[in-house]
């Protein structure tokens, strides 16, 4: 593996950022850890030692050194990765979810599968169900528990009257108890 060596101006730049004033300019802890790893490389520590101290992988430390040599200090201090890889803007998401309010108001059950199908149709890209769950969470939707009773359930009086109709004598066991026979004997044939 090729060992990346820093030039004197690069070493001075790293040391300048590791001073008290330089550290104050760094607001991101991850950027500080990347800079600290480079500083330890300047001091002559091996990647394995740096990895144990800073918590970055050995391979990533090598990549950091290469990145610093090629692109400079700004590549180390700024992380260009962002968490917004959404297919829709926030306003588009709001209008997308508004269409499901109409279904819910009409008494339809809105499921993740139906939302996911519509999402694929609108964006033209397949997505995982976690994408839909995150979308719903971002806009304050929550999972509502199912109803405790069926809306078309019969009243208690109707239920009791149907029990009396299906079992007018009270059942087999009740008849045995009324007759005075409470124990059951079994015989082998």
pLDDT, one tens digit per residue, over 84-121 is 667 888 888 889 998 888 887 777 788 888 899 999 99
Write out the two tokens for 150: 């069926």
| pLDDT at residue 1, as a whole number | 45
Of residues 182 and 99, which shows the higher confidence score? 99
Residue of 129, 139, 142 lying closest to 96 (CA atoms): 139
Q: Which residue ranges make up each domain of the chain?
A: 8-77, 90-138
Q: What is the DSSP string of the chain?
A: -PPP---HHHHHHHHHHTSHHHHHH---HHHHHHHHHHHHHHTT--HHHHHHHH---HHHHHHHHHHHHHH-HHHHH-----S---SS-HHHHHHHHHHHHHHHHTTPPP-HHHHHHHHHHHHSS---HHHHHHHHHHTT--PPPPPSS-TTPPPHHHHHHHHHHH-TT--HHHHHHHTT---------
Structure tokens, 100: 């499901």
Nearest to 145 by CA among 109, 170, 187, 119: 109
Which pLDDT tens digit goes with each residue over 22-68? 777 777 888 889 989 999 998 889 999 999 999 999 999 999 989 88
């Amino acid at each position: 593996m090729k060992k990346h060596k820093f030039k004197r101006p690069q070493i001075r730049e790293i040391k300048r950022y590791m001073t008290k004033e330089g550290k104050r300019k760094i607001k991101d802890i991850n950027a500080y850890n990347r800079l600290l790893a480079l500083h330890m490389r300047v001091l002559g520590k091996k990647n394995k030692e740096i990895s144990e101290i800073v918590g970055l992988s050995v391979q990533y430390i090598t990549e950091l050194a290469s990145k610093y040599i090629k692109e400079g200090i700004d590549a180390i201090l700024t992380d260009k990765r962002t968490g917004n890889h959404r297919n829709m803007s926030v306003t588009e998401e709001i209008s997308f979810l508004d269409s499901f309010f109409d279904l819910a108001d009409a008494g339809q059950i809105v499921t993740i599968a139906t939302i996911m199908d519509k999402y694929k149709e609108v964006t033209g890209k397949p997505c995982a169900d976690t994408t839909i769950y995150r979308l719903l969470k971002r806009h304050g939707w929550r999972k509502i528990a199912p109803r405790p009773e069926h809306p078309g359930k019969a009243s208690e009086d109707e239920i009791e009257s149907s029990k009396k109709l299906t079992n007018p004598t009270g059942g087999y066991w009740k008849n045995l108890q009324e007759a005075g026979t409470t124990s059951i004997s079994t015989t082998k044939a």
